[in-house]
Structure formats: C-alpha cells, structure tokens
Homo-oligomer: A and B are copies of this chain.
C-alpha cells in the first residue's frame, strides 16, 4: 500500500452519491466500516499497490446549498439507507470537507437541474472563463492540500442528451467554440471535464451526461497527457442486464422482449422525472441488451420518481424468451438496492484505479475500467464478466 496525497474532486459534491462516497471514505479512514461494496478491496487487487484510503482528500463543486451532513442524514432518516450513528461519528470530517466545496456551473443542464440550484453561482462571461474559474478552484485545492494528483469524478445530476456527432472531432476546433456561450454546445459536464483534462489531471464521468465523451476532448486528453473515462456507473438493473444477457446468448435462448421498470425517490429521481434529462438515462440503460445479444429484442425501460422509496431503487425486469421447440419462458427479477450506496464505493474504486493509471504513466481513455460503466467509452464489450477480466488483465500487466 502506498500513500501519495491525491485529491478526489467530486462534481455534485453534496448529492447522494458524493455524500455516500465521502462519508464512506471518512469511515474507511476511521476503520468504522468493512470492505463490502469496494471492488478495489478484492483479493486479486491486493498486490497492485493501490493508494491507501488515507491518501485521498475530498473537495468538489456543487450548485446546491446545504451540508454534507444534511445529505447524509437524509439518507439515514428518509431512506433508512445508512446508519445515522455513522454520520454522527464522521460529523467533524464532513464539516471540514464542506469548507472545500466551491460553486459549480449550470449550462445546458436542463430545467429540472436548474430548479435545484440554490447557491449563488458566478456569472462567467464566456465558457472559457468558466473553465478558468473551475481550474482555479482545482489549483487552489491542489496547492492548499499539497496534492500530487487529482481525480475529478462527475456524480452530478443527469443532463439532457447532446449529440456528440454534432461536435467537431479535434480539440482545436472545439476550443474555438468556447469564446461565447452562444457558440458553445457543451453542457456543464464537459466543461468540468475539460477543466481537469486541460490541467493534465484525470476526469471520470459517472453520469450519462456528455462529459468527456466527445472525441475532441479525448484529443485534448492525449495532448495534455491526461486520463479520462466514462460513462454512467453500472450499479443495479443494468449490471444485472450485463450478466444475464450473456447467459441467454450463450445458451442460445432467444430473447423476445426485455422490460425493465425502475422506481425510486431520491434527488436523481426528481431530475429524471424531466423527460429531457430522462432521455439520456434511458438510452444508456437500454442499448446494451441488443449489443450483447447481437439482435434487437423489443425492449422497454422506464424510470419513475416514487417519492416514498427515497434512495431505494427498485427494479422489476421481465424477460420473455424462446427456448427449444419455440416454447416461450420467463425470467423476472426484482432488485432492491440503495442507489447511492451502490454507486458510492465505485467512485472510490475509480479514484483508486485512476490514480494507479496515473502513477503508471498511462494517458487517454482508461478502457480497462469498462466494467464500471453502462456505456463505457471506446468499448463495445458489455458482458460484465469479460469487462471484469479486462480489469484483471490490466492489473496483471502492471
């Protein structure tokens, strides 16, 4: 175990996922919790010399007022998802981190996200000014905390879709659009990513938002020797799809239809209740079935806000398939998981693996992280086991 000083910069720093990741990191440092849910704590990664939890210092951007403690208590009280006493024990740590959270940016975030904003956000004259401001926050954090490296992870609310195809493929061309808000077609998620990548840092997009997916931003990453990866953390129903769809393919059981209904009641749900934002999410949850199977069965994905469920994401999937002699059969599953608690540890894992990639001198897309994402950049393989084997192979190549 090594202990470099590494910044973990969370975009959406007081959201459910960020609060959980932050609380969990505090609890890990205090030895209050075990390794459950943390991929990087698996035995096969023990020899990898990943950075110790003590290495990580948390900061972030946010558009909402409030405190990390309040966000964590919401998960404890409304959702009964975490133990309130753990929040109490980490209270001082959370208060300290709250001081390192800076105002973020709203840009093509959609009305549902804008409605959430309660902080007094700076009015940046141009997109480039905005990026400079964000970079100033990162630089200040790095200096104040004496950090060797920083991994920015976007865990903010989902933005409406932007077609990457509409964007130029070279950084120079994209860069030229940043002089004016009217010419810039990038959403906030991409501005955050550019801010970190331009500084040679690492950027991870845990959301279905555009982030660093445009080729022009990958171009920038290669120029600046930065690392990046995304998108959309694979935590529950889609994780299940990525292990079950290969089973149907390998047994030659023909999937006729795959219906998935998701209900949950956290803030993410409020945002996804807006059809514009929901479109990004549904697309990301839906495509992989056809890509794994090699044909397109009828699919249906819904994701609905049911307030009483809080952070408890409940998914019912109904898979209708044809077996031998053409006989139709059915598999159904019901997943009842806490969304933030499934995502939070993966954020910590991604920070750790990314730090290692930086230490190894790797640049560009971190495709070995595909198993963490619903729509991994640059990777067509959606079979979870094969994605995980790629991670193991990367480790072996260390």
* Residue positions of A touching B, CB distance < 8 A: 20, 23-24, 27, 33-39, 41-42, 80-86, 239-240, 243-244, 246-247, 249-254, 256-257, 259, 261, 263, 298, 300, 302, 304, 306-309, 314, 316, 318, 320, 322-338, 341-342, 344-345, 371, 383-386, 388
Contacts and interface: CB of A to CB of B under 8 A. Distances in A.
A320 B308 contact: yes
Contacts of A247: 239-240, 243, 384
Contacts of A344: 324-325
A35 B325 CA distance: 8
A392 to B, nearest CB: 9
B239 A325 contact: no
6 contacts: A36-B323, A36-B324, A36-B326, A246-B385, A324-B342, A331-B337
A374 to B, nearest CB: 14
Given A80-B328, A261-B261, A325-B341, 16 more contacts: A36-B252, A36-B254, A82-B327, A243-B244, A250-B385, A259-B263, A261-B316, A263-B300, A300-B304, A306-B320, A308-B328, A314-B318, A331-B336, A333-B333, A385-B385, A385-B386
B252 A38 contact: yes
Contacts of A249: 42
B36 A253 contact: yes
A323 B341 contact: yes
A326 B24 contact: no
A82 B325 contact: yes
A34 B261 CA distance: 31
A239 B248 CA distance: 10
A38 B325 CA distance: 10
A384 B84 CA distance: 39
A81 B320 CA distance: 15
Nearest to A23: B325
Contacts of A84: 84-85
A102 to B, nearest CB: 26
A336 B325 contact: no
Contacts of A322: 36-37
Of A24, A307, A320, A322, chain B has the most CB atoms within 10 Å of the CB of: A320
A251 B386 contact: no
A363 to B, nearest CB: 27
A294 to B, nearest CB: 8
Contacts of A37: 251-253, 322-325
A300 to B, nearest CB: 6
A307 B298 contact: yes
A342 B261 CA distance: 25
A56 to B, nearest CB: 16
Given A36-B323, A252-B36, A252-B37, A300 B306 contact: yes
Contacts of A318: 263, 314, 316
A250 B324 contact: no
Nearest to A33: B325
A34 B326 contact: yes
A137 B364 CA distance: 67
Interface centre among A240, A329, A338 (most CB of B within 10 A): A329
B257 A239 contact: no
B325 A27 contact: yes
Contacts of A324: 20, 24, 33, 36-38, 341-342, 344-345
